[in-house]
A = this chain, B = another copy of it.
Amino acid sequence: MNVEEIIKTTKKIPLESRTLIHLTLVHNQVNEIINNALKPFEVSLQQFNVLRILRGQKGRPANLSTLNERMVTKMSNTTRLVDKLLGKGYVNRAVCATNRRKVEIIITDLGKEALAKMDKAVSKAEKDAVSNLSQNELETLNTLLDKF
């Protein structure tokens, strides 16, 4: 990826700015790859992540604030995200018996089946997205990202 070529500039960009632009460009590229992988399943990346979190609960329900806490990109509106999954029959929603303020969300069998298919597509896409980096380079990248 050539930053200057992509944004069509010949000017010298300060290292700090260039790094941040670079980060955005890579993020956009990765996102496009993952989104394309999810497109056939008609779920957004956020919805996919929520399904994965719910599966990780192994039967135990999750409430909205737990979901939000565990999401990679925190959202202000988990309610409406769950609405979408509900509409697809991928999750069930029920008021918590012991604390009626809470809402308990669990993944359905249909959701699990769909998720299994998505998983394959996404993990392939993830490998594609980083295919030009060696294990060592990935390790180094993680170490550098840790510093943020």
Contact = CB atoms under 8 A, between A and B. Distances in A.
A97 interface: no
B138 A7 contact: no
Interface of A (DSSP majority class): helix
Oligomer copy total? 2
Contact of A142 (B15, B34, B123): B15
A57 to B, nearest CB: 12
A29 B72 CA distance: 11
A71 interface: yes
Interface stretch (A77-85, A103-111, A129-137): A129-137
Given A24-B73, A70-B7, A141-B19, A1 B146 contact: yes
A70 B8 contact: yes
Contact of A27 (B2, B8, B27, B133): B27
Interface of A: 1-3, 7-9, 11, 14-30, 34, 56, 69-73, 123, 126-127, 129-130, 132-133, 135, 137-142, 144-148
